[in-house]
A and B are shown apart, each in its own frame.
Chain A
């Protein structure tokens, strides 16, 4: 699929969080390289870590994320699997219980639905169900597809489903820096962590330090400061929200952009503190609206920050429909910068 023609590689915007990220010196590398470097460092630092998944040793190496790792670390630790997501997810759970640190690449969240039983009924329950007797330190990774007729079974952003599940940590990075730091944090975590990435993120290039580092799971970050409206956005929509906010600055609206980075546990304090200053909230997600990420964040703010709200909460999501294949339908389906912009204006100006 000619992804390169869907969106060219672009440098990440200059988020104010660059300074928050420790002001670490780094090089500008691609999102895939950042993820790959995290895996490579984890494999070299911890002999328990291994990487599995369909096509992790392909020439394309999972959009570049796992490219050539099998050459450096051998096929025992970086291996291709049969197309058997249900059993192999359970096998990853077993390996984690047996003392290993599996990182299972699932290509697309759509295929995670075959892994749902092991992920939800088993991995997420194990520590609690046995009173803390045994834990499951594993990482599952999947990358949301988009465009070129990916259609209903190859483009689902299913974070809403997974956010619902106690016992599972859910991470959605949006920058190259976080892709590396959150991957290393997820691998170090003692619990099952699901990382949902996005093909649009893989078109980014950003500043990433060479040395290993972690980004804390459960901590969001402010990407842009503002006083009039809080915009919470996830995954590649962080960039869209940021650009929308920059544009609106010229029109007298200062929007604050928050990237939660982790959806579960959610950095509630960061969002609530921001809303307490701005009094307004727009939430943007790559998934559906009903019963999803935006619904949960709205409910949380309505419960805990109602007194600060000066306007109804606005949500920007794809319509509650399966993804259509045709490109004219895709154009109508997907939301982006302009939708976020409109929602901010409506929320701030009440029109």
Chain B
């Protein structure tokens, strides 16, 4: 099934929305109002967007510390996300979680772990639950190249293959884990591109091309829905900004500025926008409208967050156990 014009416009809109939200957070971070470590998604928007465009509302996603893009692409409410970053009671986690612990149960986002690799078995377990309940829901797990260093990936994939679980593992290889390049941590290609073809659909794709991400993921999701088991999709991309915080907080000297520049030139948002313009799918007035809508939504979300109440000492003991 090829993408309709509307679907393409929708993907571009999602990518722009994620990008502008990240930019606004970046530009306001030094005001110290968002007292929570932020991991920005700039440069990786095509992945969350392309993947989530293949999913239904009741499909599950599980992500990691760098989760703003996944949360938004899956349908997450921006106001609730911003309020969480401002640690307010109106935040998606009511101020108990912060930027690394977003949740949106309504859209299948059952909570985000900031322990690298921690979400991978949990996403696998969601797949197990769907299978046991004979639901045709799919579980998608987003994780980085750093998480692909962890044993949980190998243990989870083995189990998913063994049980034929409806799980799609999306590895976002953005070249870095904090200040360590992927190449110094991985011995060549991930092993899941090599073996177990009959049990695992595996692909390595350009993670900056939302349509490639969409098409490959769609295959994986359809397989999973048909009960044909798990997939492993490695998306090559790049973390344009620092590991955490805003640009000025990124330590200098650990990566080559020319490398960053070359990836900036491959910006997934700009590239997709140009492509759709060239195809005549979007024009300048559409883009101006979308930008204006997004800017207005961001203003509203930031205002909402700032004006929302802070939790107080009286709230401290809430939520330890579910009554």
Contact = CB atoms under 8 A, between A and B. Distances in A.
Interface of A: 1-2, 5, 54-55, 58-60, 80-87, 110-111, 114, 148-154, 319-322, 324-329, 331-333
B54 interface: no
B65 to A, nearest CB: 9
Interface stretch (B112-120, B127-135, B272-280): B112-120
Contact of B96 (A2, A80, A319, A325): A325
Interface stretch (B18-26, B173-181, B293-301): B173-181
Given A58-B179, A83-B147, A154-B114, A149 B186 contact: no
B316 A149 contact: no
A324 B95 contact: yes
26 contacts: A2-B245, A55-B178, A58-B179, A59-B253, A80-B180, A82-B149, A83-B177, A85-B150, A86-B150, A148-B35, A148-B36, A149-B87, A149-B98, A151-B101, A153-B114, A153-B115, A321-B317, A324-B96, A325-B97, A326-B35, A328-B310, A328-B313, A329-B87, A329-B311, A329-B316, A332-B313
Kindly name the residue among B98, B178, B312, B320 whose own CB sees the greatest number of chain A CB atoms within 10 A: B98
Nearest to B116: A83
Contact of A327 (B87, B115, B244): B87
B321 to A, nearest CB: 11
A272 B84 CA distance: 47
B5 interface: no
B245 A1 contact: yes
A328 B94 CA distance: 12
Nearest to B185: A82
Given A59-B251, A151-B97, A111 B115 contact: yes
Nearest to A331: B313
B312 A328 contact: yes
Kindly name the residue among A2, A148, A149, A319 whose own CB sees the greatest number of chain B CB atoms within 10 A: A149
Interface string B172-201: 000001111000111000000000000000
A58 B252 CA distance: 10
Given A82-B149, A324-B311, 6 more contacts: A54-B177, A59-B252, A87-B151, A148-B35, A149-B37, A153-B118
Interface in B254-273: 254
B98 A325 contact: yes
Nearest to B244: A1
A280 to B, nearest CB: 28
Contacts of B32: 2, 5
Sort A-B residue pairs by CB-CB distance and give the 5 closest, nearest first: A149-B36, A325-B98, A326-B87, A326-B95, A332-B313
Contacts of B315: 329
Kindly name the residue among A2, A81, A82 whose own CB sees the greatest number of chain B CB atoms within 10 A: A82
Interface of B: 32, 35-37, 87-88, 93, 95-101, 113-118, 146-147, 149-151, 177-180, 184-186, 244-245, 249, 251-254, 310-313, 315-317, 320
B178 A58 contact: yes
A215 B99 CA distance: 41
B310 A326 contact: yes
A141 B259 CA distance: 33
A86 B74 CA distance: 32
B311 A326 contact: yes
A1 B95 contact: no
Nearest to A328: B310
Contact of B186 (A59, A82, A87, A110): A82
A325 B114 contact: no
A202 to B, nearest CB: 16
Contacts of B150: 83-86, 114
B149 A83 contact: yes
Contacts of A84: 149-151
A54 B87 contact: no
Contact of B115 (A1, A81, A110): A110
A326 B317 contact: no
